[in-house]
Amino acid sequence: ITWPSVISSDSSTGTIAYATANPTTFITYNESNYDWYYTGDYSTDNTRWTESGKTKSIYDPCPYGWRVPDGGGIGVWTVALGSWSQFDNTYSSTDKGINFSDKFGSEATIWYPASGRLDSDDGSLSYVGILGSCWSASPAATYKVYFLTFEYGGCDPMIYASRTYGISVRCVKE
Average pLDDT rounded to a whole number, residues 152-169? 87
Average pLDDT in the chain: 87
Tens digit of each residue's pLDDT (9 = 90 or more) over 25-82:
999 988 888 899 999 888 888 888 999 989 999 999 999 999 999 999 889 888 888 8
Closest CA to 97 of 151, 59, 138, 50: 151
Average pLDDT rounded to a whole number, residues 91-118? 84
Strand ranges in the chain using DSSP code E only, listed in sequence order: 5-8, 25-28, 66-67, 91-92, 97-99, 111-113, 117-118, 125-126, 132-139, 144-151, 154-162, 172-173
Cβ–Cβ under 8 Å, residues 168 and 127: no
Q: Tell me the pLDDT band of 145, cut-offs 50, 70 and 90.
A: very high
Q: Could you give the residue ranges of the DSSP H alpha helices within the chain?
A: 16-21, 76-81, 101-104
Report how far residue 4's alpha carbon sits from residue 25's, in angstroms, rounded to the nearest whole number.
7
- Name the residue with higher pLDDT: 103 or 18: 18
pTM (2 d.p.): 0.87
**Amino acid symbol at 61:** P
Q: For the chain, how big is the Rg over CA atoms in Å?
A: 16
Report how far residue 104's alpha carbon sits from residue 118's, in angstroms, rounded to the nearest whole number.
26
pLDDT at residue number 105? 73
Please say if the pLDDT value at position 92 is more than 70: yes
Q: Tell me the pLDDT band of 171, cut-offs 50, 70 and 90.
A: very high
- Count of residues making up the chain: 174
3-state secondary structure (DSSP) of residue 54: coil
Distances (CA, A) of 104 to 10, 16, 17, 111, 172: 40, 33, 36, 10, 11
pLDDT at residue number 88? 57
Q: Which residues contact 50 (CB under 8 A, 6 or more apart)?
A: 56, 57, 60, 137
Average pLDDT rounded to a whole number, residues 140-164? 87
pLDDT at residue number 118? 85
